[in-house]
Amino acid sequence: MSLFWRIFLLNAAVLAAATTVLLLTPLTVSTPLILTEALILAAGLAAMLVANAALLRLGLAPLRRLTRLMMTIDLTRPGTRLTISGNGIVADLIRNFNTMLDRLEAERRNSAAQALSAQEGERRRIALELHDEVGQTLTAVLLQLERVSNKAPQCMHTDMAHIQEMTRGSHDEVRRIARRLRPGDLETLGLVRALRSLADEFSTDGGVTVHCQLDTELPQLDHETELVIYRVAQEGLTNVARHARAKNADIVLGRHADGIELRIRDDGCGIGSALVGTGLAGMRERALLIAADLAVGPGPHGGTEVQLNVPDRSK
């Protein structure tokens, strides 16, 4: 039954009930109108309006739920669906809306996968160019500086040593950037050792002491899942180093009943009311690729906690 006919029949039922009351009771209307009759008519009208409003609220309740879901839906948190209730056009509308959400989430997941795949490819290309081109050029510069320093007068040795040290620092920074762009440790050493290497790097260069609690008995993971876990940990530690003003951070990776859980905690100032930046948005996009749940909020003892729950994809 269409929504028009449902509302029409609800109103018709109320009017029919009022007409039946007038026919079966000795109520009449005098001319001129008596005050008592006016009060009775007013009470009857009020009763009809209340009954009509109650019936309409009951009939349109599924539409209100659908409207509320439309206003609050977040495609970065997939899986929210409205229970199909009622019948006719309302049920069809809810069913079609749920189907539309399925299609939108699938399209978003596919487009995000393509974008992140292209991003990883570009990172690998830049990392190779930094290593092969810039890194080798800086190595050649260091050799030339050493040769010139050996021939330079004694009074210039201090300046030459300072220039060599600056060039060596730039060379190390280029290598560090290349490693972050292309995590070679992940491909050669595996996820656990790559996370330990990442923690050591941030402890050395990020000004944050990173502690690791990593389960070595993890189930077999595909490369895409390992890459998502690594990138989320990397972005989480980057946010800690840049924004948290923390002294300590923890990386916890372990199994649970439904899969794998990654947690990054710090003892910093907390996330507060900070706006969602591109880093957090990127982590959520990556989590969507493997149907994982990402939550960011205050830690149990202050600071900020990033939690990534990866489902067991072998089930």
Residues 6+ apart with CB under 8 A from 12: none
Average model confidence (pLDDT) for the chain?
79
Structure tokens at 200: 């050591």
259 — alpha (psi -120 to 50), left (phi > 0) or beta?
left
Instruction: Give the lowest-confidence range in 11-15, 138-142, 161-165.
Output: 11-15
Question: What is residue 1's predicted lDDT score, i.e. its pLDDT?
Answer: 60
Q: What is the pTM of this model?
A: 0.62
Report long-range pairs for 194-200 (Cβ below 8 Å, ≥24 apart). 194/230, 195/229, 195/230, 195/233, 195/251, 195/253, 198/230, 198/233, 198/234, 198/237, 198/251, 199/237, 199/251
Q: Which residue has the higher pLDDT, 273 or 105?
A: 105
* DSSP letters for 13-30: HHHHHHHHHHHHS-----
Q: What is the pLDDT of residues 212-222, one digit of tens each?
A: 999 888 888 88
Residue 75 has pLDDT above 70, yes or no: no
The angle subtended at Cα 292 by Cα 288 and Cα 298, nearest 5°, is: 105
Q: What is the mean pLDDT of residues 43-47?
A: 78
8 A C-beta contact, residue 306 and residue 282:
no
Read off the DSSP letter of residue 300.
B
Reference 202, options 250, 267, 252; nearest CA is 250
pLDDT band at 181 (very low <50, low <70, confident <90, very high): confident
Question: What is residue 204's predicted lDDT score, i.e. its pLDDT?
Answer: 82
Terminal CA-CA length for the chain: 42
Question: What is residue 3's predicted lDDT score, i.e. its pLDDT?
Answer: 62
pLDDT band at 277 (very low <50, low <70, confident <90, very high): low
Question: What is residue 243's predicted lDDT score, i.e. its pLDDT?
Answer: 82
Q: What is the pLDDT of residues 265-275, one digit of tens each?
A: 998 887 765 54
Question: What is residue 163's predicted lDDT score, i.e. its pLDDT?
Answer: 86
Percent of the chain with pLDDT strictly greater than 90: 7
Q: What is the pLDDT of residues 222-272, one digit of tens each?
A: 888 888 898 899 888 888 888 888 889 999 999 887 789 999 999 888 776
Residue 9 has pLDDT above 90, yes or no: no
Question: What is residue 264's predicted lDDT score, i.e. its pLDDT?
Answer: 92
Instruction: Give the lowest-confidence range in 4-13, 24-33, 215-224.
Output: 24-33
